[in-house]
A and B are shown apart, each in its own frame.
Chain A
């Protein structure tokens, strides 16, 4: 069934039709995101030390050491190597993003499809709950989730799982809303009526006609959510709901530990994990934003016809 040609792969097609700034944003975003995934995958190879290593053959690292040949980005107040923590932090972040988004999509799409297609009391209840949760400040909800799931602190596996689940709680209502609205839109289109007239059963209409037409906007929300997931993860860590420093490296947690450092002028413990968050969130936001623009005909930039012969009146209007 799947007819996938190069031109129809989601991102490739958009890359081709994009121009100018939008293309620049998309390419920059893809490069940054690619870099992030690469660093996360190769963390054990790239990092000079382990994420919880305090000493090597030459002795203990020492706390709050400024950047040097031994520690390119210095050491933290707890005596960890900053560079290694930044690199391993990518791994944690990637795991959380993937886990939370997968869980949100599965749950959100299923609920949205049911809610939108069948309507009735199920729809009303789901929408009411989703709206209430959607209005809930996301980080606070994630904190509650983290308290419920793990009691607050944990190892890598359970920590990543708990954080991802907490973020999922935040995202599911968003997916539900988006998919539901899309399902309602698709349901109103004539081709669904056409299927009903033919006598197609509900299940076949849902799977064959509605589902695939309703989830076409998801890639876009996924990329925008990915950056939100990164920021929520960092926020949780910053409030002390991250993962134990000995279990894994987490940028938000490291930033929280650096608040006091900043006051005394120690900049390297805050700057690098912070920059890591910005770079990753920026990459994903750039991809999401440009995909969003390309998907919206009103926002898309188009090539101008043979610019050399642009008429004077358009030029004049441009110049103003």
Chain B
């Protein structure tokens, strides 16, 4: 039943974005006001239909969105949907890397911290985690860049792939937008290495932040379940301490963890926007920052609405997964 809530949620999100974006006036004045004469402005506003009653525009907008049409950008005159598709893959790739880093680091370290609760490994891990999420992701990115790219020269400063690599991909007709996939399709190992080198710093910056959050989440929930009576009951039957952590307490802790991880998707996307800007990673976040600078609110509206919907849908999927893990819901 509650899964049906996804429909009003998406509706509310799209409406909120529309209302907020249009509360300031029409996007054409915002983007071009001052550069065009009032007559020219009025003409373009009329041509785009922004002088019609707001409700009519709203219904039109909803209809267009339902068809997958988010309008056309003002600054570079491209369909917003095309922008979303082109750059969405880059953002998705970065997010996947970051989630992998976060899970590989955050989950085992969180279990370790819970196991060594209140002793020195726990203290060290917690302080590291707090540092990880008190550091703005763009500052972490700049620091990494300063040390590993500029100072040591080990890794590239910005971008997703070198020019040579891009040429190799085009020759192999590998243009899925997912760099790692394309690199593998070229069949040339150096391209794969090149792509991974470019991804290393952004993935680490975003992944560390998320890992800190995961660590805290896993630790708190594990401590909660380790204190339950069923863990004591298993202990009273002679089950090993390590086994208590990895099986008896972990599975029940997983259910709330999955739910909260779903909520982290929103945080991850915000982090991606900032990371992309830092590393000139040409994804949705990078584009969003560009469009914001250009006051191109049609593009901004489209990107923000898409991200909000992605978050809502992910949360919805995560709820289903959490329900599947929980036998009390399954049966």
Contacts and interface: CB of A to CB of B under 8 A. Distances in A.
Interface of A: 20-21, 25, 128-129, 131-140, 143-145, 147-148, 151-152, 227, 231, 234-235, 238-241, 252, 255-256, 258-259, 262-265, 267, 270-271, 274, 277-278, 281-282, 285-286, 289, 298-299, 301, 317-318, 320
Contact of B142 (A131, A255, A264): A255
B230 interface: no
B247 interface: no
A278 B139 contact: yes
B123 A21 contact: yes
B307 interface: yes
Contacts of B30: 151
Interface stretch (B49-57, B98-106, B189-197, B289-297): B289-297
Contact of A137 (B134, B223, B267): B267
Contacts of B241: 317, 320
B136 A274 contact: yes
Listed from nearest, the 6 A-B pairs whose CB atoms lie closest are A274-B139, A281-B134, A282-B134, A132-B12, A139-B270, A144-B20
A239 to B, nearest CB: 5
Interface residues of B, number: 61
Contact of B266 (A137, A259, A263): A137
B138 A21 contact: no
Contacts of A238: 136, 138, 274, 277
B239 interface: no
B143 interface: yes
B13 interface: yes
A282 B130 contact: yes
Nearest to B262: A135
B147 to A, nearest CB: 9
Among A147, A231, A241, residue most surrounded by chain B Cβ atoms (within 10 Å): A147
A129 B12 CA distance: 7
Contacts of B312: 132, 135
Interface of B: 5, 8-9, 12-13, 16-17, 20-21, 23-24, 30, 118-119, 122-123, 126-127, 130-131, 133-136, 138-139, 142-143, 145-146, 150-151, 157-158, 220, 223-224, 227, 241, 263, 266-267, 269-270, 273-274, 277-278, 288-289, 292-293, 295, 297, 300, 304, 307-308, 311-312, 315
Given A143-B304, A265-B151, A274-B139, 18 more contacts: A132-B8, A132-B9, A147-B20, A148-B23, A235-B136, A235-B274, A238-B138, A238-B277, A240-B289, A256-B277, A263-B150, A270-B143, A278-B131, A278-B134, A281-B135, A289-B126, A298-B227, A299-B220
Contacts of A241: 292
Contacts of A151: 24, 30
17 contacts: A132-B16, A138-B266, A138-B270, A140-B307, A143-B304, A152-B292, A262-B142, A262-B145, A262-B146, A262-B150, A263-B145, A265-B146, A271-B146, A274-B135, A278-B134, A278-B136, A299-B220
A282 B20 contact: no
B20 A148 contact: yes
Contacts of B274: 139, 235, 238-239
A239 B119 CA distance: 41
B159 to A, nearest CB: 12
Contacts of B20: 144-145, 147-148
Contacts of A25: 126-127
A128 B139 contact: no
B270 A128 contact: no
B270 A137 contact: yes
A295 to B, nearest CB: 12
Contacts of A289: 126, 130
A192 B162 CA distance: 67
A272 to B, nearest CB: 11
A239 B273 contact: yes
B223 A299 contact: yes
A285 B145 CA distance: 25
B224 A136 contact: no
A263 B136 contact: no
A17 to B, nearest CB: 15
A46 B128 CA distance: 31
B146 A267 contact: yes
A298 B224 contact: yes
A308 B72 CA distance: 74
B139 A133 contact: no
A252 to B, nearest CB: 8
A65 B199 CA distance: 32
